[in-house]
Structure 1
């Protein structure tokens, strides 16, 4: 043991081995012992609020395909972060979230900034939460955290680490392990599923976010084409898993029990791969499945399989399952080709003032680079985005997995940082509502500090449009606080170091967007739009 061999040095050596050399955080006093003498071969990504920190790390981990490391401040920082931790949990994102704990000798007396019941606070939104019983256990706790986060179903984990642990002497840690991140489905049950699919007269395929996360995009296309099956987007997608301009794609499935049931009418079999059955919101009563329609589900998550209201489930990695099904199912060449998704409605000859969301998306469709990644948190315009800006490539669409807003703005930062980390050059487009933008607006500071190629398009309709739509649907008139007057979003963006512009016409939007693509700093384009009802 050398004089410098401590919990701190041994843990950093382990993090190097696990390739966890990017730390997302907002430093607090109880975290400084971990961050001291921060190594030159590590990268610290500063977020100005912990909710933004989590979302950045979430998107970074999704794009890199590896766990990401987050460092939060005690209970106060964890409390700020929980909202987006919920999103990471629902999105099966492997995060190792650490929080600082007060000095061990003080904890029994509930000192200032102690993390009271530290392992309980982030539950149930982590797979595992632990505070090492001894300082010597810190490296092994990181090793287990890595394994827990990565193994299916992947997800966030939490470690609470007392601040005095880092300088304790420790000779080293050599029990570095590797773990599997895929589970192959039961071959006999999969063969039964394949036989039922082959026998179907008019099957429907629903590909969910697990497929794209597993790298199964190309396999999903091959399966749909072999079966000649109609493909629907799973409800409330956080990752697109099938090209939305493909002739077999029939559009989003819908959000309510009634909408989903109605959309599936006429199919004798529905095969849901990599998705819940189903994400429902709001509640509109109806039949979970049409009469004489059966359902098969394949998912890597036992909890999702157990929670399904209808159908037969099979556990396994979605990509592996699809690739195996390709060899097991018979071609569907005799099936009638499905009706293609209706193309977008024609735009008015004279542009509206303010612009409508379809006009905004139509303009963006003319100037969007083909390889651009989209992060969407304009919740009232999701249907128009699919129509006018369809996702056509794997790993190029991201949205909140939980329904909580305040994820999209920092997530765009995480996508751009991950692209840079893996040597990929592409623009990132953040489609954000004016209300959503306020939840984690401080994230654009990080975007500006790193000179990230992000173009935020903020729909400025002056209200929470999606909540007004829910109020109509749920017959709840007179709800306060749904209007947003007095926001100067462009001025706010400039204050954080971004380029910004207010836009009122499609010509201005196309010009400013094209200019933003070659800017050396992120751009916030505030597009004044007409409010509209969300497609619920």
Structure 2
């Protein structure tokens, strides 16, 4: 007698196979690289497919704005930011603001898609010819993985290089077919140091020279604020009773500009800086270049009888100095150690603080002067506000009326190129929101600068970011007219900007926008903008301002 045994159908649940895409996203998640700034193209879509719910994609409408948003975001969060742009065309658009990120030592991981590996040999449409060469010299490392399997390790190396001092942007070009390749995970995770200690013996030598100085001057560069050394810098200046000057063409303020020891901006030409330092026997530059010069006005690099010491985390900055002795090392660590080593300077004469004449016209002007604009803003600005400045011809008036008084609260382009400030304000506001910080973000932008990256305000509006943009409309490239006068080049074309309805453009991008031409209207609209839950663009008619060169 035969019997049949019923067969039970076995259902085996198989975990999905790991791929380059899944392993890389797990690594990015572990590294807290879950915010992606970008403008997608066809070769980037395999990277962005099935975008995880725990990641955030910040869309900007042009790649230069993408970079500037990520730059400011990384500066505020103090960790690397991930950027994704399109092949050679998008990468090309991004280069102007990539220069700023490089000079600002901002840790960015910039990625773009490459065409399918099988097609690259034939120079296909939208292929990135010599992909690793294109972003140089404005990245610390530029790489296209030799194998798809190397993509996660390339991200790990990029992260390490972006963070290690001097921090800065790195670039990865990734063929679009790499993302679906099978790959066993997880990726190898590493940690790296973010600080390098200064040489103790040389630091002691510097401390002895500072202690022996009869009238020292301190210049705190942007590295001080970036490294968290703001309060230590105040303590050092007060212990030494030393004058403190604003670093030339600063992109981060590193000392309170209302402090009694603050002597004002140093200047931006060889002659101006040398003249400003006359009478000091020693200048100590900490965390910055010695010096950023522009334009060329001949003079002595230092006054006779003045020595210079420089402390920086950046070997290139140290090597480029035209005078003085340098020391490499983390700036905050160096300041903390100098506080212990230098002698008290109580016997020194108290330096003269910055003069603030704060002169205003006897009656309101039409159009307003920049001083009147800043005076009005100063009445309503909260002390915890952060300023992003790209009104290049009026920065002296901003320091006079709206001094930076807190760490991490002033940002400007580190490269001198315009079009950074408007999207950078977006990056600051996004970083504050992610960090749970509530403070007003103020964008002080010239009308010429605003046009370079006006599309960035669309991103601000979409994210309902409470940014107050104050656009000073003088209908010209005022800074360039100042340079034309200095350089004795009359008749330069293209320096006037008539006929731009900035408020209408801003409304078209989804922002609340108003035109104002009186101080009363400006104060009212600015006060309302500071407490709004969306982006405001205030366009104020102003007189051209000759820049302090």
**TM-score, normalized by length of structure 1?**
0.99
Partners in 2 of 1:134 and 1:71 — Cα distance?
20
Residues 24 and 187, structure 2, Cα contact 8 Å, conserved in 1: no
Q: Deviations over 1:141-160 (max 9, x none)?
A: 00000000000000000000
**TM-fit CA distance, 1:520:** 2.2
Aligned residue among 107, 111, 115 for 1:94? 107
Residue-by-residue CA offset, 1:337-357 (whole Å, 9 max, x unaligned) = 001110133212201110000
Does residue 359 of the first structure (1) align with residue 368 of the second (2)? no
Contact 1:465–1:533 (8 Å) recurs in 2: yes
2:308 — aligned with what? Answer: 295
> 2:95, 2:218 → 1: CA distance?
34
Answering whether residue 39 of structure 2 is matched by residue 26 of structure 1, we say yes
Could you tell me which residue of structure 2 aligns to residue 436 of structure 1?
449
- 1:426 and 1:453 in contact (8 A); partners too: no
> Partners of 1:464 and 1:260 in 2: how far apart?
25
Contact 1:2/1:171 (CA < 8 Å) preserved in 2? no
The answer to whether 1:155 aligns with 2:165 is no
Q: Which residue of 1 is the match for residue 11 of structure 2?
A: none
Q: Which residue of 1 aligns with 2:405?
A: 392
Deviations for 1:105-163, whole angstroms, at most 9, x for unmatched residues? Answer: 00000000000000000000000000000000000000000000000000000000000
CA distance in 1, matches of 2:245, 2:529: 34
Give the structure 1 partner of residue 487 of structure 2: 474
Match status 1:275 vs 2:288: yes
1:233 aligns with 2:270: no
1:460, 1:529 within 8 Å by CA — same for their partners in 2? yes
CA distance in 2, matches of 1:175, 1:9: 14
Query: Which residue of structure 2 aligns with residue 175 of structure 1?
Result: 188
Does residue 123 (structure 1) correspond to residue 132 (structure 2)? The answer is no
Structure 1 CA distance, aligned partners of 2:371 and 2:158?
Answer: 45
C-alpha distance in 1, partners of 2:227/2:531? 32
Once the two structures are TM-superposed, the CA of residue 2 in structure 1 deviates from its matched residue by 4.6
Note the C-alpha offset of 1:92: 0.2
Q: Measure, in 1, the Cα distance between the counterparts of 2:31 and 2:187.
A: 12
- 1:42 lines up with 2:55 in the alignment: yes
- Aligned counterparts of 1:342 and 1:503: Cα–Cα separation in 2: 30
The secondary structure found in structure 2 opposite 1:429 is: strand
**Counterparts in 2 of 1:70-149, with a 5 A limit?**
70-149=83-162
Question: 1: distance between equivalents of 2:179 and 2:187?
Answer: 18
Give 2:541's match in structure 1, choosing from 496, 515, 528.
528
Counterpart of 2:22 in structure 1 is 9
Does residue 370 of the first structure (1) align with residue 383 of the second (2)?
Answer: yes
Is residue 212 of structure 1 aligned with residue 220 of structure 2? Answer: no
Instruction: Extract structure 1 runs of 4+ deviating beyond 4 A.
Output: none
1:54 matched to 2:67: yes
CA distance in 1, matches of 2:134, 2:357: 46
What is aligned with 1:202? 215
- The residue number in structure 2 matching 1:63 is 76
Is the contact made by 1:299 and 1:316 (CA closer than 8 Å) also made in structure 2?
A: yes
Deviations 1:242-299 (A, max 9, x none): 0000000000100000000000000000000001010000000001000000000000
5+ residue gaps, structure 1, are none
- Does the 8 Å CA contact 1:232/1:251 hold for their aligned counterparts? yes
Show structure 2 runs of 5+ residues with no match: 1-13
SS in 2 for 1:480: coil
Tell me how far 1:370 sits from its aligned partner: 1.1
Counterpart-to-counterpart distance in 2, 1:246 and 1:143: 43
Contact 2:95 2:135 in 1 (8 A): yes
Task: Verify the 8 A CA contact 1:51 1:440 in the aligned structure 2.
Answer: yes
8 Å Cα contact 2:288/2:312 also seen in 1: yes
1:330 aligns with 2:346: no
Instruction: Give the TM-score, by structure 2 length.
Output: 0.97
**Deviations, residues 366-411 of structure 1 (Å, cap 9, x unaligned):** 0001110000000000100000000000000000000000000000
CA distance in 2, matches of 1:369, 1:232: 24
Alignment partners' CA distance in 2, 1:3 and 1:364: 58
Q: CA deviation at 1:3?
A: 3.4
SS at match of 1:164: helix
